[in-house]
Amino acid sequence: MIIEIKDLRFSYHEHHPALEGVSLEVERGERVALVGPNGAGKTTLLQHLNGILRGEGEIRIDGDILSDETLDIIRGKVGFLFQSPDDQLFSPTVYHDAAYGPVYQGLAAEEVEERVSDALEKTGMEALRDAAPYHLSVGEKKRAALATVLSMRPDILALDEPTSGLDPRGKRELVELLGEMPQTIVAATHDLAIIPKLFPRMVIMEAGRIVHDGWSEDILKDRALLARHGLA
Amino acid sequence: MSIGQVHLEPYIKGNSALHGLDARVKLAGALAMLITISTLPDGAWAFYLFCLALLAGGMLISRIPLKVFIRRAAVIELPLVLVILPVLFRGGGEAVWSAGLFNNEVAIYQGGLVRFSSLLAKLFLSILTSVLLSAATPFQDLLAAMRKLGLPRLFSAILEMMWRYLFVLVREAQRMLTARKARSSRSGESASKTGGTLAWRAKVTGNMAGTLMLRSIDRSERVYAAMKARGYDGEPRTLEMSEPSGGQTATLIAIAAGGLLVILLGNIL
Amino acid sequence: MHAPVPMHIPDGFLSITTSVLFWIFSAIVLFFALRKSEEILSDKKIPLMGVMAAAIFAGQMLNFAVTGGTSGHLLGAALAVIMVGTWPAVIVMASVVIVQALMFQDGGLVVMGANLFNMAVVGVFTANFIYSIFSRLYKHKKWALTAAAFAAGWASVFIASLSAGLQLAVSGTSPANIAIPAMAGIHALIGVGEGLITAGAAALVLKARPDLIDREELSGEDQKWVVTAGIVLSLLLVIISPLASSRPDGLEFVAERLGFMIRAQEPAFEIIPDYVLPGPLSSALATVAAGVIGIIIVAGLALAASKMSSKG
């Protein structure tokens, strides 16, 4: 069990409860899609995985309980891809952005170089290693953002709407890329089309709760179920 | 760490009598109060209390919760405290406390104590005034009031545009900070220098600032293009305020007169 | 709200005379800067300065961990100069100061003239002259621009803090030998952070949009006078500060030293006759007035010269 969430509750402020008792278990290597209408709490839940948000309840990542002491270790284990790649690209070159994670961890220069090159290669961004993120296309930015996260060698990838803003080719490329990733993946997505290829398991959220958790294959065939939860 | 849900807007909606007061009256009243507070002599405690009472009255009328004032009034910078600390050790009167320090006699004098506490009291009153003004008056109205008091139309238009994009850009900065935090981790292996060097961290922050600036330049170009498409010709145009009612003008005059009175009395006594 | 560089003087910390003087001077510079910005930017002026003011404000929230729980922040005067040029930067920084004071209680309203002077005038002019000189000296080599940005960032914060310290001393809020060294010392350190952040920002902009940094405005004729004014201003502050810091009554001391200069020009200063102001105040005031009037003269010359050169 690489992710264990027990009865997670969170409110942004007094009258805005976002998560009302969420429990979830994810095995190492699993790929889970979080779906649901806007406001269901998908992004909120994802952001608890690496401690961006801190709610009530217990969260265990790879055996460690998420707390003030384990926060920085867990951040290294969960690679978070933000919905807008612009949020996480802030360096002069793609290389520098990808290097941030390993450099922060205090790794030696050679180690940093190795990890960054590896990450750039895996995302097909080697050719653009010295490019300014400013000039990249949306698809390239998405891949660069992924590289910034892969360079930390995380065990888990938390993806927030990974295909949003991508054209069909960009989507295809990203889906192929993700398909090759060995990590455990939890992704929040509106895009049901990418689920069959990538995510055998689907978790449906609504109003801060998990309302269904099962095999994607079954759920996607169940039109009534999908309609009931605002997914079709 | 939040994902940008920080409540940035200082204005707190309401329909109290204070909210309904014309912005010009409120701005002038606030300025009168601030000038009064600034010109009151040290140790004029009765007058400080009087000002506090006036402010408390305003706060009550506004029906804005007390915690708002507490939260926003708790500001003072450390260097500035350091700068006024020596005031304690000078000034006339008897020594209230003294000690030997490195062969020197160090003492806090009564005069210095009075001056120091007066400074802090005036500081607190001033901040409270400012909080009340900004909590009870929307920014747009304050701008309009400033225009009437002489602020050039161009400057006002610039401030308005700044306000429009303030929250957007602040959230953008916050998201960048959050994303950076998400990549700031400790490796499970040999934890040598986590966090890199200070210079590197500052450089990264600079990169973020540069990114924000670049995106903002682009954004301003887009805004400009959109404005041009709507027939913008470079001239600032604004909606004009209605004239304040008779009652409001009277309030304004009363405030100004009251302020003058307090200043005079405070300085005489 | 947020805690940018701790240079914002709150209400009650400056004397009314100081506040009024600096309000007048800042208003003059701002009015002038507004007109110049209009000339330079034409109809882009509102979107550019408005959005960039918001950007600088937001930029001040970007921080980096220093030690313990403290963090370094950005003031942004130098960054503003690099991104939009001197005169628009004055307006941009002024907008930031105004909004911070009015809406977020960072800095007072009565003393805003002084804060505007420190951050929107001194900060901007200092950053500009250092950046211009540095970058021109090394003919726009990449590393030189980054180094110039660092120097401009550091100097803008440090010299602005001298101005703040002087204002506090002149007001009698704090003795000159505490106020000035305290502000100067703290901001000499903070300035390093500002320099590094500004350099980091310049490096990124240089990489992504070198065209933005290498503006012709930086090499225009007009610049000569703006740069000169910046140098004069900084020199005044840098010279008066250590002199005044030597003793608690430092400014009176300096005023006395300069007294011969003032007495020689007595007729000009009869405009503020002695009997209007209480005795001890007038010599300190005279120093400040001398400096301010000197700056106004220089600025006036710069104005006149630029008008002549642009018409020619």
What is the residue extent of each domain of chain A? 3-228
- Hey, which chains touch C, using 3+ CB pairs under 8 Å? A, B
Distance CA C198, CA C202 (A): 6
Cα separation, C142 vs C148, whole angstroms: 10
DSSP symbol at A11: E
**A48 compared with C219, residue with greater pLDDT:** A48
**Would you state the structure tokens that stand for residue C248, as one six-digit string?**
């608690």
Between residues B253 and A202, the one the model is more confident about? A202
Structure confidence by residue, pLDDT tens digits, B93-110:
777 677 666 666 677 777
How far is the first Cα of chain B from the last one, in angstroms, to the nearest whole number? Answer: 51
The domain defined by A3-228 folds into: Rossmann fold (3.40.50)
Find residues 190-229 of chain C whose CB sits inside 8 Å of chain A.
203-204, 207-209
Asked whether B221 and C53 are in contact (CB, 8 A), the reply is no
Q: How far is CA C117 from CA A186, C18, C114, C162, in A?
A: 53, 12, 5, 12
Over the range C146-156, which residues count as b (16 or more CB within 10 Å of their CB) and which as e? bbbbbbbbbbb
A220, A196 Cβ separation under 8 angstroms? yes
Burial class (CB in 10 A: 0-12, 13-18, 19+), B89: middle
Q: Does C203 sit within 8 Å of A134, measured CB to CB?
A: no
Give chain B's length. 269
Q: Given B184, B200, B207, which is nearest A90 (Cβ)? A: B207
The per-residue pLDDT for B110 is: 77
- pLDDT for C309 equals 42
> What is the per-residue pLDDT for A182?
93
Contact criterion met (CB < 8 Å) for A93 and C207? yes
Q: Is 70 exceeded by the pLDDT of residue A223?
A: yes
Give the lowest-confidence range in A91-95, A158-162, B69-73, C259-263. Answer: C259-263
Contact in structure between A28 and A2 (CB atoms under 8 Å)? yes
C-beta of residue B134 within 8 angstroms of C-beta of residue B109: no
Q: B79 touching C, CB under 8 A?
A: yes
How much is the pLDDT for A126?
Answer: 93
pLDDT surpassing 80 at residue A174: yes
Mean pLDDT of A10-21: 84
**Contact call for B194 and A84, based on CB within 8 A:** no
Q: Which residues of C touch B82 (CB under 8 A)?
A: 182, 186
Instruction: Please give the pLDDT value at position B166.
Output: 94
Query: Taking the CA of residue B2 as centre, how many other CA atoms within 13 Å lie in the half-sphere pointing to its CB?
Result: 11
Using an 8 Å Cβ cutoff, are C34 and C91 in contact?
Answer: yes
Question: Are A52 and B178 within 8 A, CB to CB?
Answer: yes
Within 8 A by CB and 6+ apart from A224, the residues are none
Inter-chain touch C47–B86, beta carbons under 8 Å: no
Q: How far is A224 from chain B (nearest CA, A)?
A: 34
Considering only CA atoms, which of C203, C226, C231 is closest in space to residue C90?
Answer: C226
Specify whether the CB–CB gap between C44 and C88 falls below 8 A.
no
Burial class (CB in 10 A: 0-12, 13-18, 19+), C270: exposed
C-beta separation of C170 from C18 below 8 A: yes
A78 close to A61: Cβ distance less than 8 angstroms: yes
- In the structure encoding, which two tokens stand for residue B199, read together? 């210079």
pLDDT in tens, chain C (312 residues): 445 667 889 898 898 899 999 999 999 999 999 999 988 888 888 999 999 999 999 999 998 888 767 778 899 999 999 999 999 999 999 999 999 999 988 889 999 999 999 999 999 999 998 888 877 776 656 778 888 899 999 999 999 999 999 998 888 888 777 788 888 888 888 899 999 999 999 999 989 998 887 655 544 456 777 888 888 888 888 877 777 776 666 666 566 655 544 444 444 333 333 333 334 444 444 445 555 554 555 445 545 544 444 443
Cβ count within 10 A of residue C67: 8
The count of other CB atoms within 10 Å of the CB of residue B254 is 12
Q: A219 to chain B, minimum CA–CA distance in Å?
A: 31
B150 CB near a chain C CB, below 8 Å? no
Sequence-distant (6+) residues with CB within 8 A of C173 are: B83, B84, B87, B119, C13, C14, C15, C179
Cβ of C109 within 8 Å of Cβ of B166? The answer is: no
Do C13 and B119 count as a contact with CB atoms less than 8 A apart? yes
Please give the share of chain A, as a percent, with pLDDT higher than 90: 72
Q: What local confidence, expressed as pLDDT, does residue C262 receive?
A: 46
Chain B contacts of A80, Cβ < 8 Å? 179, 182
Among residues A135, A136, A111, the alpha carbon closest in space to that of A124 is found at: A136
User: Which ipTM was obtained for this model?
Assistant: 0.91
Contacts of B214 in chain C (CB under 8 A): 204-205, 208-209, 212
Tokens of C101: 């004071």
Query: SS3 of C68, please?
Result: coil
Tell if the CB–CB gap between C209 and A93 is shorter than 8 Å. Answer: no
User: In the predicted model, what is the mean pLDDT of chain B?
Assistant: 81
The string over C277-301, giving b where at least 16 C-beta atoms fall within 10 Å of a residue's C-beta and e elsewhere, is: eeeeebbbbbbbbbbbeebeebbee
SS (H, E, C) chain B: CCCCCCCCCCCCCCCCHHHHCCHHHHHHHHHHHHHHHHHCCCCCHHHHHHHHHHHHHHHHHHCCCHHHHHHHHCCCCHHHHHHHHHHHHCCCCCEEEEEEECCEEEEEEHHHHHHHHHHHHHHHHHHHHHHHHHHHCCHHHHHHHHHHCCCCHHHHHHHHHHHHHHHHHHHHHHHHHHHHHHCCCCCCCCCCCCCCCHHHHHHHHHHHHHHHHHHHHHHHHHHHHHHHHCCCCCCCCCCCCCCCCHHHHHHHHHHHHHHHHHHHHHHHC
Q: Which of C241, C137, C134, C139 is nearest to C198 (CA)?
A: C134
* Pairing between β-strand A184-188 and β-strand A156-160 as defined by DSSP bridges: parallel
* Bridge partners of residue A212, in order along the sequence: A204
Instruction: Give the closest of B134, B154, B210 to C202, CB-based.
Output: B210
Q: CB of B17 within 8 A of CB of B61?
A: yes
Distance CA A40, CA A205 (A): 6
Tell me the average pLDDT across A179-203.
Answer: 92
- Put simply, whether C55 touches A (Cβ < 8 Å) is no
pLDDT tens digits along B14-52:
888 788 778 888 888 888 889 888 888 888 888 889 889
Could you tell me the two tokens for B68? Answer: 């708002």
E strands, chain A, in order: 3-11, 17-26, 31-35, 56-61, 64-65, 78-81, 156-160, 184-188, 201-206, 209-215
Q: Which of A203-212, B121-130, C93-102, C223-232 has the lowest mean pLDDT?
A: C223-232
* CB proximity list for B71: less than 8 A, separation 6 or greater: none
Inter-chain touch C110–B160, beta carbons under 8 Å: no
Answer yes or no: do C43 and B233 touch at CB < 8 A: yes
Q: Which residues pair with B95 in a beta bridge?
A: B109
Angle at A11 between CA A6 and CA A15, to 5 degrees: 140
Of C44, C79, C173, the CB nearest to B213: C79
Q: In Å, what is the CA distance from C301 to each residue of A32, B4, B95, C305, C307? A: 71, 48, 53, 6, 10
CA A66, A67, A69, A72 torsion: positive or negative? positive
- The answer to whether the beta carbons of residues C81 and C75 sit under 8 Å apart is no
